[in-house]
Structure 1
Amino acid sequence: MPSASANYRTLLRTAGAPAFFFPAAIGRLGIAMTGIGIVWLVHARTGSYAAAGLVTGGFAVADAVAGPQIGRLVDRFGQAQVLPCALGAHAAAVALLLTSAVPDLVAGVLVGATLPQLGALSAARWSALLSGERAAALPTAFALEALANGVSYLAGPALVSVLGAAGHPGAGVLLAATLVVGGGLALTVQRSTMPPLTGRSERRHAGRALLRSAFLRQVAVGLALGVFFGAMQVSVTAYAVERGTPDAAALLYFAFNCTNLVGGWAYGVWGQGGSPRRRQAAAAACLTLTSLPLLFIDTPLAVGATLALAGLVIPALLILASVLTEAAVPRAVLTQAFTWGNSANAAGTAGAAAVAGRVVDASGASGGFGVAAGAAVVMTAVALAGVRNSSPDVPKPSAPTETTARTALPPT
């Protein structure tokens, strides 16, 4: 681990990197808190989990649909122009939700539709910063992003739950919005690392890359991974309840999340080299192999160990999806491409939770684990299709065009 620390420290010593990475990480913590914060707030207001779930679902769908559109505007006009507008609209939407000025469902949709994907903006900055001779450090940078994401989704929901249990259900939503807006504004002022804008003709042709198989495969991988997450959330809880030990669910989630962080940390240091497509296929196959035993094992220790092994593999899939997405599309649509991956993951999670719930009702927790294993099998097939496809990745321009030089924002 000392070499791992040195590697990440070296990356963060890159000029301008800490100034955008840490604000984005703070904002991402707020993003991770928003959904569960809405659950606590709406349930406290209505006394109904059904109402809370409906509002949270509206939030998630709006976030998944609007995210790529915000990314598209960022690619066209730049982060400094689009992000302040999105943050202002998000703050206003949260205010509507907290004050009940509009129906909760309407407010939840507005909160999701205005939530900027700060992780995608940070990933786009890494891509611009580590171009050319420094491109070999990109997998480590994306591993660092995956670590920040993992920590956010481990700590954020727990913090909101503590506030809600203490009798402050609205505090979680307010704190989440504060972190999102504060982190986003701090990111906005860091202009020196913003990706340069591209010319109009380049943007016109770049959008076609979003329809190419190399990129669509990564969207499919993100969707399948979301299905895996959603099915696991339902199935682990159902397994613990079936055994009469509902408290064990928290321990099982903890085992999965902790090894997830360890896997992300390790991959950023020792996962370099080789074909990313082959690595993705191997990681998907490993996830399939670790998921299948959940269909028949029954002891909590064995289930926990299996989930821990699965948690080690997940970060590699997330990191490689970012690496392959970055290689598959031109810079003119890179932010939009990253947000499409996030949206696919979120859509898969939301849809799988509903499907797996029905399967669990019909055949128990093993049926839900079967849905997760099926998603891993599909992911493996998609990744193997990428290995068989030998088409070259889309090259990135090594320098801004003349139009780019005229339209790029000056550094601060």
Structure 2
Amino acid sequence: MSTYSSLLKTPGVARIIAAQLTARFPFGMLSLAYLLHIEQITGSYGAAGLVLAATSIGQAIAGPLTSRWMGVWGMRRVLTLTMIVCATSIGLIAFIVDASVPVYMIIGFIGGLSMPPIQPAVRTIYPKMVNSKQLTALFSLDASAQEIIWVAGPVITTFVATQISTTLAIVIAGVFLVGGGLWFILSPEVGRVRIPRSKRKLGVVLSKPAVLLSTIVGFLLVGACAAVEAGVVAAFGHGGPEAGIVLAVFAIGSLAGGLSFGHVPVGPWALSRRMLGVFVGMALAMFSLNFWWLGVTLLIAGIGIAPALAVMFAIVSATVKFSDTAEAYGWVGTGQLIGAALGSAAAGFLIDANGAVGGFWAAAAFAFVGFLIPTILRSWHPDLRGRELSSIPDTAPVPIQPS
């Protein structure tokens, strides 16, 4: 733990982690809050699902686009503009009670499209805050800490929405977005880092093997996690605390894994090894829907999640030019969003056909392919042991031969 204590003593690191987590806290609240709110208004979960789908599509499109804009107009301008538009859309969904479903879908799409690119911004800033030897640990700490979003966010949303008001649940998410967003935007580190304008066309960064590998494996990893969530909810229903407890254990496993393995050097087998652990845990979960069995097996699966994410962030940082890092992380985020949508959909079909165990079948299948891809494409995975992890500078000194 000394690695993390020294990290948090580095000027600005604790502040920037806390600020970005606060700004991203709505990510763990809005989906559930929208689901409960729109269902309450329309009486249809199908209508709520359409609004969520529109919001997710907007987020997926925005990932690389708004991230790239930060190199054109600057981080603070892009973050401020997107925060204002997104907060407005959140307010409209919270307080407009007589709109049609297509109107809610349009508002949700605009909100998703304008979701502030906090994650690409902060992961672009990190290499400028610590030395290269600390960077893997910082990425791991970040990936572990974000589990707070997925544990506390749904709990707060469910309590407020069911006990007080779905409108208030959405408003609280908006308050986190604006309060955390302003805290992050006004942090000195955001003002110090200037992302150079990329000279490449949108999407060209995906030609980098490490970026494409991280995008594909991130898609599969998050798809597996989304399928697990659907399977757990189907297994225990909404009537008791069992589903929430099991999912909390799943997230705690990820938190513990990230803190335990964050200092381990990233070799060429790093991603496949971590994904193997995720697959083993999810595959074991298929054999019983017993509460204790799922708690243990998903704890095992969770241990690999944050370390796998940390490896993805590290290999992207070490292999792309600084001007392309934000867009690269935007593509990785888009892959994860698509994975969440398809993982939930695949699990839903299998649960309808085979019961709750179908969700774990889908999860294990996603995780197995997620292990297979980095194993087969090991040549795409850089060996970062003993290497600088900071982004490649856009300019470099030109050696001059003596005459």
Relative to structure 1, is the Cα distance of residues 299 and 184 closer, same or farther in structure 2, using a 3 angstrom cutoff?
Answer: closer
Query: For the residues of structure 2 that align with 1:47 and 1:281, how far apart are their CA atoms?
Result: 44
Q: Structure 1 unaligned segments of length 5 or more: list them.
A: 403-412
Is the CA contact (8 Å cut-off) linking 1:28 and 1:118 kept in structure 2?
Answer: yes
2:40 to 24, 44, 61: 44
Q: 1:364 aligned to 2:362?
A: no
Question: 3-state DSSP class of the match of 2:29?
Answer: helix
Letter in 1 for 2:325: L
The range that moved more, 102-111 or 388-397, is 388-397
User: In structure 2, do the counterparts of structure 1 residues 184 and 390 end up closer, same or farther at CA, with 3 Å as the change threshold?
Assistant: closer
Q: Does 1:258 align with 2:258?
A: no
| Residue 389 of structure 1, CA deviation | 4.2
The residue aligned with 2:139 is 142
TM-score (norm 2): 0.88
Q: Find the residue that maps to 2:265 and give its secondary structure.
A: coil
Paired position in structure 1 for 2:233: 237
Cα-Cα RMSD: 2.6
Q: TM-score normalized by structure 1?
A: 0.86
Cα deviation, 1:72-121, whole Å, max 9, x if unaligned, reads: 10133221221111111112222322232862222111111111131221
C-alpha distance in 2 between matches for 1:396 and 1:260 = 26
Amino acid of the structure 1 residue aligned with 2:184: L
Deviations 1:254-296 (A, max 9, x none): 221222222222223xx42251x31111111222222222333
Q: Which runs of 5+ in 2 are unaligned?
A: 398-403
| Kept in 2: contact 1:75–1:336 (CA 8 A) | no
DSSP-derived class of the 2:199 partner = helix
Work out whether 1:279 is the aligned partner of 2:237: no
Query: How big is each residue's C-alpha offset from its partner over 1:218-275, in whole Å with a ceiling of 9 and x where there is no partner?
Result: 100011012101211121222335xx9865322322221222222222223xx42251
After the TM superposition, which residues 1-400 of structure 1 pair with which residues of structure 2 at under 5 Å, given as runs?
A: 4=1, 6-100=2-96, 103-130=103-130, 134-193=131-190, 194-198=192-196, 203-204=199-200, 208-240=204-236, 247-268=241-262, 271-275=263-267, 277-389=268-380, 396-397=391-392
Residue 343 of structure 2 aligns with an amino acid whose one-letter code is A
In the TM superposition, what is the alpha-carbon distance from 1:205 to its structure 2 partner?
7.5
Rounded Cα–Cα distance in structure 1 between residues aligned with 2:129 and 2:27: 24
**Higher deviation after alignment, 380-389 or 347-356:** 380-389
| Alpha-carbon distance in structure 1 between the residues aligned to 2:381 and 2:25 | 38
In the alignment, the residues of structure 1 paired with residue 40 and residue 289 of structure 2 have an alpha-carbon distance, to the nearest angstrom, of 36
Paired residue total? 388
Deviation at 1:158, TM superposition (A): 0.8
Deviation track 1:321-379 (CA, whole Å, cap 9, x = no partner) reads: 11112123211111111122122112111112112111122122333212111111111
Distance 2:187 2:248 in 1: 35
What displacement does 1:55 show? 1.0
**Residues 391, 67 of structure 1: alpha-carbon distance in 2 compared, 3 angstrom cutoff:** closer
What letter matches 1:385 in structure 2? I
Q: Which amino acid aligns with 1:196?
A: R
Q: For structure 1, which segment, 180-189 or 289-298, has the greater mean C-alpha deviation from structure 2 after superposition?
A: 289-298
Residue of structure 2 in register with 1:405 after alignment: none
1:109-144 CA-to-partner distances (Å, cap 9, x unmatched) read: 1111111131221111102223xxx11111111122
SS at match of 1:104: helix
Alignment partners' CA distance in 1, 2:183 and 2:248? 32
Cα distance, 1:66 vs structure 2:
1.2
SS of equivalent to 1:204: coil
Q: 2-side partners of 1:250 and 1:82: how far apart? A: 36
Q: Kindly tell me: are residues 250 and 16 of structure 1, through their superposed partners in 2, closer, same or farther at Cα, counting changes over 3 Å? A: closer
Q: Secondary structure at the match of 2:187?
A: coil
Query: Match of 1:295, as an amino acid?
Result: M
Once residues 25 and 326 of structure 1 are traced to their aligned partners in structure 2, the CA distance between those partners, rounded to angstroms, is: 20
